[in-house]
Amino acid sequence: MKLSEQFKVDRPMLSFEVFPPKTEARFEPIMSAVEEIAKLDPAYMSVTYGAGGGRSQYTVDIAKSIKAMNVTPLAHLTCVSSDKTTIQTQLTALKAAGIENILALRGDLPKDYVPGEYRHASELIDEIHRFDGEFCIGGACYPEGHPESARQKDDIQHLKEKVDCGCEFLTTQMFFDNDLFYNFMYKIREAGINVPIIAGIMPVTNAAQISRIVDLSGAFMPQSFLNIVDHFRDDPASIYEAGIAYATEQIVDLFANGINHVHVYSMNKPDVAADIQNNLKSILDK
């Protein structure tokens, strides 16, 4: 099912992200986790793309397996380290596997980055659209502004370019302060960006995640959130429970404010996905 159709449904929905293994030896354990998450019957599941395309076949294989489990897959595709031949090959593989939805991303710049055939996600979106107009194409957005963008106004203009190239929905980077997200929503709607926005939520279930999150996204962390992490950091069971509760509270607030589509960065952890979904069972069943 195309996500563009799914997003027309006016009710709260929850989806989960999974990522492929770094090595073949890890494929089976990760597939076991993917299967457990699929049993929760989420609205859809996204599958990330290996850095530099190194795990690209795993992305296709996992997305294809998710589809076989009667869950809609969303395959990530990055372009910064790829040439057009590689992208064409990947699109051909996705189409052959029956994957209808693609999240088109530039990808993180490698340390030895040399500009190639793609510099921006909008170029990849245009490429996908011209390859096969039947793909439903999504993109990424940053409620706090892209780390490489000096002004949020410029970043929002780049989002508009993505939409103009054929992007049908946008998924946010993780955020921990809903007010920042609501402010962002106001600004992009004012800029004429009217595609569905999927809120990305990361449940923090151990203290070690904090430094990784800061390094990856630079996301603002409210003092209330930092207090939780600081208070429970030495108690694994407590910080897990507190992290699930904080993420659940964020999602409830989003649903209450009319944001129906929330994507949970579950880090291949079926227990995290299940606990978040169970906390929202009555809301999601309406």
Task: Please report how many Cα atoms fall inside a 13 Å half-sphere around the Cα of residue 218, on the Cβ side.
Answer: 8
- What is the token pair recorded at 105? 């991303």
Nearest to 177 by CA among 247, 228, 75, 117: 247
Can you say how many angstroms the Cα of residue 14 is from the centroid of all Cα atoms in its chain? 12
- 28 catalytic? Reply is no
Q: How many C-beta atoms lie closer than 10 Å to residue 89's C-beta?
A: 14
Interacting residues of 162 by C-beta distance below 8 A, sequence separation 6+: 121, 122, 125, 139, 170
Interacting residues of 211 by C-beta distance below 8 A, sequence separation 6+: none
What are the distances in angstroms from CA 206 to CA 19, 224, 242? 19, 16, 10
Catalytic residue among 17, 123, 144, 168: 17
Residues annotated as part of the active site: 17
